[in-house]
Chain A
Amino acid sequence: MKTRQLMGGLCLAGFSVLASAGSTAHEHGVAGLSLVQEGTTITLGFESPLDSLVGFEHAPRTDAQKQALQKARAALENAATAVALPAAAACVARAVTVEMPFGSKAHAGHDDHDKHADAEAEYVFECAQPAALGTVTVGLFKAFPRLQRIDAEAATAAGQGKAVLRPAQATWSLPAAR
């Protein structure tokens, strides 16, 4: 799969090239989400400590941990459930990029990263009706129960805004046009 190949390359590159969420500190249980709208293109960036997704931040040692990583990657790669956009906006996912440490074979066994490890994902949507983008339903809390809070920041044609999402309030109201 194309994304997987892209993944390996990104991982080797060793630094983030994704349009990830605003500069959030590494805080377990807390993730960052960003949304930028430029014309009909919507770009969402997600960044989270690996611990919040799988419960550990080192190279997988057991089969269960390897499976957890694979499951997390699959959940992040599913754009439709991770960040659901309103049907009225008529959005089509154009590209999904997931960047996770310890994912590729080349990295297995290494544990010489920083003490912390982050996972990142980028979703690019093409929306026919960007004006109908009122809310984003974030499904990441369901996929990752360890996630307690998402600091979500948006920059759209209507303006900029920030929301704090929690498992009980996973619907993000984007800045409304004034």
Chain B
Amino acid sequence: MRLPLWHLTLASVRNRGLATVLTLVAIALSVTLLLGVERLRNDARSSFANTLSGTDLIVGARSGAVQLLLYSVFHIGDATHDVSWSRIDALRTHKDVAWLVPLSLGDSHRGFRVVGTTADFFAHVQTGNRQPLRFAAGRAFEGVFDAVVGAEVAARLGYAPGAKIVLSHGAGEFAAAEHADKPFTVTGVLARTGTPVDRSVLVGLAAIEAIHLDWQGGSRIPGVEIPAQFVAKFDLSPKRVTAALIGLERRTTVFRVQREINTAAGEPLLAILPGVTLDELWRVVGVVERVLLAVSAFVVAVGLAGLVATLVSSLSARRRELAILRALGAGPGDVFVLLMTESVLLAVAGCALGVACLWALSAGIAPWLMAEHGVQLVPRFVDQSELVWLAGVVAAALLASVIPAWRAYRYSLADGMTVRM
């Protein structure tokens, strides 16, 4: 009775356990790296793209377009300048502007950014595919010292409506820069969006003015202290804001309004189309992405080279085994197929292990990525584009396996039973 070839393959793989396992691990790790880079790239892109929708223009002080997008929407980096409120207020009454949401950045609360804005924020800011913001609990801010917190802030710091919080000046590194005299009350918690809004503390523009009444140039004015109950006596209308989000009446006017703002006389302003600027950013980042992808492709090549090396080096130890197979009636073609099957089997097993590894890894780091970087990893075992990559790896393995298989084929033709080892 002739044993099926795959039985021999399995037996032969089992016979060289350690080398096989190590080869398998090398291939699995390289596949994990390749797919991981690709998955992170795709998911980061869609996370960024889903951060803001329905906003036609973003206006800020004239600097770089990408910079304006990063600090106003993604809370990455800082504004070099702010914009006077009168300019922003004038845009609000522009005939083509449907709504305008001002943003005032620069304060923080325990590592989370404080965004000074108006209640319009909750009405007009949309994420994903035009999903409006929703309140998980409570309502928008009304009073000067009311605050709304994002889902991540509420979850991490355990806030619910009614909680008292203290904002800090700047990034909050120094305790001395705390606005401890003017505590805020949380009035609402937003539902999770998977965007930087989750990591924001939202307050009214008047609140930003109020906490800085007795401050000047980034520090408290010595000897001056204005208690919270008296701030209403002061003019709390905003003087300067960092940026503004704009929605237009009709989309057709977007390029005209953009040009109008960019070329207007007076205080230099910059208007950008967020989606256009995001594509500009991807063009810049794309180079790095391609380098990363190339590096991980090389790592896969190294893994496959390891596979071939293991098989080739095992061949000399297996010459007698192959000769016995021949004596038992296996043709040289059978030996070729045996070796091919062995190496492709290892490659496929390596891919499977790599996918499992990736799945475990992405499940493990997804919460951290979301919380720290706002990148949402979509949980999935393997998707279509990843299958294409896997098929590529297996195809490369198939090609590389020809080397050991061909050598085995040659041996099996040339060697007799009395091989000198």
Residues in A lying within 8 Å of B, measured CB to CB: 19-23, 34, 36-38, 41, 43, 45, 153-157, 159-164, 175, 178
A157 to B279, CA, bound (A): 17
If the complex has contacts A20-B259, A23-B259, A160-B274, are A38 and B279 also in contact, measured as CB distance less than 8 A? no
Interchain residue pairs A-B with the least CB separation, the first 10: A160-B275, A162-B279, A162-B276, A38-B252, A160-B273, A153-B276, A34-B255, A23-B262, A38-B251, A155-B254
**Smallest CB–CB gap between A65 and chain B, Å?**
30
Chain B residues positioned under 8 Å from A160 (CB to CB):
273-276, 278
User: Can you list 21 pairs linking A and B with CB atoms under 8 Å apart?
Assistant: A19-B255, A19-B256, A21-B255, A23-B263, A34-B255, A36-B252, A36-B254, A36-B255, A38-B252, A41-B252, A155-B273, A159-B49, A159-B53, A159-B275, A160-B278, A161-B279, A162-B280, A162-B283, A164-B283, A178-B49, A178-B128
**Smallest CB–CB gap between B278 and chain A, Å?**
8
Chain B residues positioned under 8 Å from A157 (CB to CB):
251
A34 to B259, CA, bound (A): 12
A17 to B197, CA, bound (A): 38
B385: interface (CB < 8 Å)? no
Interface size class of B (residues with CB under 8 A): 20 to 34
If the complex has contacts A36-B252, A38-B250, A161-B276, are A155 and B56 also in contact, measured as CB distance less than 8 A? yes
A19 to B255, CA, bound (A): 7
A160 to B208, CA, bound (A): 32
If the complex has contacts A162-B280, A178-B129, are A20 and B49 also in contact, measured as CB distance less than 8 A? no
B258: interface (CB < 8 Å)? yes
B50: interface (CB < 8 Å)? yes
A153 to B61, CA, bound (A): 22
CB atoms of A175 and B259 under 8 A apart: no
If the complex has contacts A23-B262, A34-B255, A38-B252, are A155 and B275 also in contact, measured as CB distance less than 8 A? yes
Chain B residues positioned under 8 Å from A154 (CB to CB):
276
CB-CB contacts below 8 Å: B43-72 with A:
46, 49-50, 53, 56
CB atoms of A175 and B256 under 8 A apart: no
Residue in A closest to B128 when the chains form the complex, CB atoms: A178
Chain A residues positioned under 8 Å from B252 (CB to CB):
19, 36, 38, 41, 43
Chain A residues positioned under 8 Å from B46 (CB to CB):
178
CB atoms of B251 and A163 under 8 A apart: no
A161 to B273, CA, bound (A): 8
**Smallest CB–CB gap between B42 and chain A, Å?**
13
**Smallest CB–CB gap between B47 and chain A, Å?**
12
Query: B265-309: contact bitstring with A at CB < 8 Å (1 yes, 0 no)?
Result: 000000001111111100100000000000000000000000000
A36 to B277, CA, bound (A): 16
A160 to B216, CA, bound (A): 40
**Smallest CB–CB gap between B303 and chain A, Å?**
34
Residue in A closest to B259 when the chains form the complex, CB atoms: A23
Residue in A closest to B280 when the chains form the complex, CB atoms: A162
A22 to B280, CA, bound (A): 13
CB atoms of A161 and B275 under 8 A apart: yes
A85 to B4, CA, bound (A): 59
CB atoms of A153 and B255 under 8 A apart: yes
Chain A residues positioned under 8 Å from B276 (CB to CB):
22, 153-155, 160-162
- Neighbour of B279 across the interface among A19, A21, A43, A163, CB < 8 A: A163
**Smallest CB–CB gap between A50 and chain B, Å?**
19
Chain B residues positioned under 8 Å from A22 (CB to CB):
255, 258-259, 273, 276
A159 to B274, CA, bound (A): 10
Chain A residues positioned under 8 Å from B262 (CB to CB):
23
